[in-house]
Structure 1
Amino acid sequence: MKGRFYGDDAPGEEKFRRQRRAPQGRRRVAALTAEGEDTSEDDVIARLKALGHVTEVLAELKSGKEATAYVARGPRGTLLLKLYRDLQARSFQRDEVYRAGVYIPDARAAKAMAGRSRKGLEMLHQGWVCAEYTHLWHLWEAGLNVPEPLVGPSPFDYSATAPAVLMRLIGHEDQPAPRLSEASLTPEEARRAWDQALSGMADMLRLGYAHGDYSTYNLLWWENTVTIIDFPQLTTRQNPHFRDLLARDAQSLATSFRRHGVQASGDATLREVQRRALGPGPTPRVLLP
């Protein structure tokens, strides 16, 4: 089935189509859940409920440059709801280095995105969200330690949730997994986390990916296991900046692990990742029909 990554209407979009408005930034939980007499439920949350993905938004978990993560509930249990800000409202807007080498067959769409027209920004926004789902499904099926995506794997399904990405929450509802940048580790745990982080980066490289923002800020620590998160900027070998992004990931990983007592240079980290990428990968997961 043909996916809708740029500009196509998602299922049910006509019913929930928003009028033109100011760019949407960070949404507070009260605004999402219609708490208070003078507020109405956020239209994205209303659509997710209508599609059967979400029943309740519980709390804000983390707010970043592009999106805010919330703890929510749905028919499949506790989940993480990642809600992207509109492109114009993000502190990180220029994503050309990550999209370099990506072929867009629709010439008009490519021109609109390059010119960053209103329609082009809408397409970029939709593409950024769908890219995270696409990469998340690929990595999950390949057996990597990443959160389980909860919509898809068909683009027809997950394009309907934009600007939201839904995935299994790592940790518990009342105790989500911390990022490694915030975790307190013993020396033994730090060595174990470092080894898993190297293997995770090598597993992505084996699949032809560079993460693009790989550090302890995008690694979770739960039950002595590292889980990789944040994938919209994931890039492939077709990107002319691939080697530079890979080297930058290695340096970022090495630098961010120093607070845990791990001392390694970016060059040594990159060599070790490349060495591990030559070995066997994790066991792929089998999706049930």
Structure 2
Amino acid sequence: MSARWLEDELNGAGIQAERRTKHKAKKPLGRRRLETLTADAETGEAGDDIIRRLMALGHITEVVAELKSGKEATAYVARGPHGSVLVKLYRDLEARSFKRDGVYREGQVILDQRAARAMASRSRKGLEMLQAGWVSAEYAHLWHLWSAGLQVPEPLVGPSPFEYSATTPAVLMRLIGTEDQPAPRLSDAPLTPEEARNAWKQSVQGMADLLRLGYAHGDYSTYNLLWWENTVTIIDFPQLTTRQNPNFTELLRRDAQSLATSFRKHGIQADGETTLREVQRRAAGQGPAPRVVLP
């Protein structure tokens, strides 16, 4: 899968989302309360229309807990036909504290000029398209990285944009850990010195694997790395950027610095430039074995 393929996928998903948009004003949705997402005991229906849609599509059967609330989305633990699911539910762009997303989108080619103008002006329709694009980007990146063999959560909807565009503003992936004990972020995990060294090596390798595919994560640190059964899992991909982005080199350098800085609490003493050189050296080597994605 190429960066151009991803670009075409995201363009297609964004245009589909525009066509489905209902032309009516609505209050921007921020963090959803758990009680509105869970099904009523008598009716069996959830109070939130997005969750009802996910249930109607057969992706989940119930929401059981809130896991984590971040600057742009809240993660919930749910159950589905194939086990435990993590539902990442994005806030509307107007309700998000993280709004400076242009630096990550530079270099992208939007084939629909009308859509490009709407997104650039951040009109109501443009914001809705940006929201759909943000969700579609995470799905597309997850599928690309998962099939390439990287240690990322398994996406549970797709790989066709037609399938995953129907879940906007939610991204569904397999839960890392268990319902009773979801995997902690590396920033929160208590590590022994040996575990810290192991986690550091895996984290550097993960960044190198991304670079080998032509990507910079854009927010790579222990806050976006999970630790479960001595394995590091990379998360949070909507801001992933390619070499077409004029900010690519700076974002890559910033990732290396963020990784080095965030690991200091675990006793790893490394600087950003040394980390970047090691990432670049490893990126020239062989990558992980690709996964087979069944139809």
Scaled to the shorter chain, the TM-score interval is over 0.9
Conserved? CA contact 1:10–1:159, under 8 Å: no
Residues of 2 paired with 1:77 and 1:277: CA distance? Answer: 34
Map of 2:275 onto structure 1: 269
The question of 1:29 aligning with 2:37 is answered no
Map of 2:79 onto structure 1: 73
Conserved? CA contact 1:70–1:81, under 8 Å: yes
Map of 1:5 onto structure 2: 13
List per-residue Cα deviations over 1:202-239 (Å, max 9, x = no partner). Answer: 00000000000000000000000000000000000000
The question of 1:243 aligning with 2:249 is answered yes
Residues of 2 paired with 1:63 and 1:231: CA distance? Answer: 16
Question: Taking structure 2 as the reference length, what is the TM-score of the superposition?
Answer: 0.93
| Structure 1 unaligned regions, length at least 5 | none
Map of 2:5 onto structure 1: none
Map 1:116-131 → 2, pairs under 5 A = 116-131=122-137
Map of 2:172 onto structure 1: 166
List per-residue Cα deviations over 1:77-104 (Å, max 9, x = no partner). Answer: 1010000000000000120000000000
Residues of 2 paired with 1:137 and 1:20: CA distance? Answer: 33
In structure 2, do the counterparts of structure 1 residues 35 and 249 end up closer, same or farther at CA, with 3 Å as the change threshold?
same
Q: Secondary structure at the match of 2:66?
A: strand
Residues of 1 paired with 2:100 and 2:206: CA distance? Answer: 26
Residues of 2 paired with 1:251 and 1:94: CA distance? Answer: 20
Q: Secondary structure at the match of 1:45?
A: helix
Map of 2:58 onto structure 1: 52
The CA deviation at 1:5 is 2.0
Residues of 2 paired with 1:170 and 1:60: CA distance? Answer: 14
Conserved? CA contact 2:17–2:129, under 8 Å: no
Conserved? CA contact 1:191–1:262, under 8 Å: yes
Map of 2:263 onto structure 1: 257
Map 1:107-256 → 2, pairs under 5 A = 107-256=113-262
Map of 1:283 onto structure 2: 289
Matched-pair identity in % = 73
Residues of 1 paired with 2:96 and 2:41: CA distance? Answer: 27
Conserved? CA contact 2:46–2:52, under 8 Å: no
Conserved? CA contact 2:18–2:125, under 8 Å: no
Conserved? CA contact 2:13–2:132, under 8 Å: yes
Conserved? CA contact 1:210–1:246, under 8 Å: yes
Residues of 2 paired with 1:66 and 1:25: CA distance? Answer: 9
Conserved? CA contact 2:185–2:226, under 8 Å: yes
One-letter code of the match for 2:124? R
In structure 2, do the counterparts of structure 1 residues 34 and 20 end up closer, same or farther at CA, with 3 Å as the change threshold?
farther
Of 79, 88, 91, which aligns to 1:85? 91
Which runs of at least 4 in structure 1 moved beyond 6 Å after TM superposition?
none
In structure 2, do the counterparts of structure 1 residues 128 and 9 end up closer, same or farther at CA, with 3 Å as the change threshold?
closer
Conserved? CA contact 1:214–1:252, under 8 Å: yes
Conserved? CA contact 2:132–2:165, under 8 Å: yes
Residues of 1 paired with 2:46 and 2:135: CA distance? Answer: 25
Residues of 2 paired with 1:19 and 1:261: CA distance? Answer: 53
One-letter code of the match for 1:238? Q
Q: Secondary structure at the match of 1:171?
A: coil
| Structure 2 unaligned regions, length at least 5 | 1-7
The CA deviation at 1:18 is 9.2
Question: Taking structure 1 as the reference length, what is the TM-score of the superposition?
Answer: 0.95
Conserved? CA contact 2:119–2:130, under 8 Å: yes
Aligned residues: 286
The CA deviation at 1:33 is 1.7
Residues of 2 paired with 1:51 and 1:157: CA distance? Answer: 10
In structure 2, do the counterparts of structure 1 residues 57 and 149 end up closer, same or farther at CA, with 3 Å as the change threshold?
same
One-letter code of the match for 1:27? R
